[in-house]
Structure 1
């Protein structure tokens, strides 16, 4: 099989559930071979088995905050596929509320940055040789919390803000061989479909979005699939906000 005929291979971290799983579904439907990386082996294997109906899926145990784990995962990908065309750095601690700043421990601060920021650095760095060979792309999943905040979210906001900055820095350093972009989701309902039906969000939750609804993982998945495609070949170093218009509203208390 020639290089042009080979199926593109993508690694999605934190892919066992939520946005990562949504990204994996979109990429599989776009014809990619998928490597799902997650620290939760049981959930990751179950997701890989579930998504196998859509295409070629492999699971690798991956703790993005552990350098040895990252290196082992990339070695396995190279051994199993011989190539890597894209990385989606999605893995992260998802609860932004770490309590009052004066009570935030250094250990909790460091853990948030290790997973949500350093993890993307470690995975990206380890992926560079394969991505440079394939002239591939990286998408970092940041957050609108990199741009605006609620109370008690300093560690999360700092990590996601750092991820946006890391994105444009890597885009300049790794171009033209590797494109690097970020996606900043807003409110995405990552609960499973059964729970969404049994415990639906309030009408006001949807109506406060300019598009009239809260987001779904597929909304982010489709945007990531576009950014990794040749159609986005002129886009790099950017942070694309996908929040249904939420962050563009001027809200005043009356």
Structure 2
């Protein structure tokens, strides 16, 4: 019997010749996405924010899979820094064919305890950052006549959650961005999103008491946290040749936390 935690392997060579930029790549989820894209043959731009040691380690791991890599550091909320990082990456690897907007910010705070600076921090990373990176990548995709984008939202965009009003708002906004952009740049550029449920990553760990895990997973079908390795194959599918009819869609990778 197959373990339901074992994701399907990416088809080797499916993405050979493509260059993929993954933002927030050195985190657990970003790294898992990078590994799956690399197994499918994509060269990887490993984006990070002042985490060069971890980025270089990930690049080495990906290169062992037979692909080319480059690491770049930039604050996704800084237009000029992102533009410089993209120029460097594309000079070294070639034009960006695939963009995975994975970088994000999540903070547990009740609305009545949230000040404007804290609210803006979440919006800046989770929405402005996606806009900036996408805005700088899309023109090249349109010029070349092809591109694929996957935005990482969350099941909380649909469910809401106590103590996460800002995060839920930003991730819901990202879905509107995905749908509108899909209509604007499709079918030349294929734009989709995924909405994971709670994933066992360091971002979740500070909150993950047994009570917290139970609360977040009790109404899901699988009744547990997801694993980073269970997300990568869906991203690879959405940017691969098997998903030509997916435009402006959201895949619910939440173990049945949101149905329908």
So what's the TM-score if we normalise by structure 2? Answer: 0.84
Moved more, 24-33 or 206-215: 206-215
Shift of 1:212: 5.3
In structure 2, what is the equivalent of residue 22 of structure 1? 32
Kindly report structure 1 stretches of 4+ aligned residues shifted beyond 3 Å.
199-209
Moved more, 126-135 or 209-218: 209-218
The yes-or-no answer on 1:156 pairing with 2:143 is no
In structure 2, what is the equivalent of residue 235 of structure 1? 246
Distance in 1 between residues matched to 2:219 and 2:115, nearest whole Å: 34
In structure 1, what is the equivalent of residue 85 of structure 2? 73
SS at the partner of 2:129? helix
In structure 1, what is the equivalent of residue 119 of structure 2? 109
In structure 2, what is the equivalent of residue 62 of structure 1? 74
Query: What is the RMSD of the two structures over their aligned residues, measured on CA atoms?
Result: 2.5
In structure 2, what is the equivalent of residue 215 of structure 1? 226
Distance in 2 between residues matched to 1:88 and 1:150, nearest whole Å: 25
More helix by share: 1
Moved more, 69-78 or 25-34: 69-78
> What does 1:38-187 correspond to in 2, within 5 Å?
38-42=48-52, 43-54=54-65, 55-95=67-107, 97=108, 99-132=109-142, 133-187=144-198
The yes-or-no answer on 1:12 pairing with 2:22 is yes
What 5-or-longer segments of structure 1 have no aligned partner?
250-254
Report the count of equivalent residues: 238
Distance in 1 between residues matched to 2:254 and 2:83, nearest whole Å: 33
Distance in 2 between residues matched to 1:134 and 1:77, nearest whole Å: 20
What 5-or-longer segments of structure 2 have no aligned partner?
1-14
Distance in 1 between residues matched to 2:255 and 2:119, nearest whole Å: 30
2:46 and 2:59 in contact (8 A); partners too = yes
Distance in 2 between residues matched to 1:129 and 1:115, nearest whole Å: 21
Q: Check 1:209–1:102 CA distance in 2 against 1; reply closer, same or farther (3 A cut).
A: closer
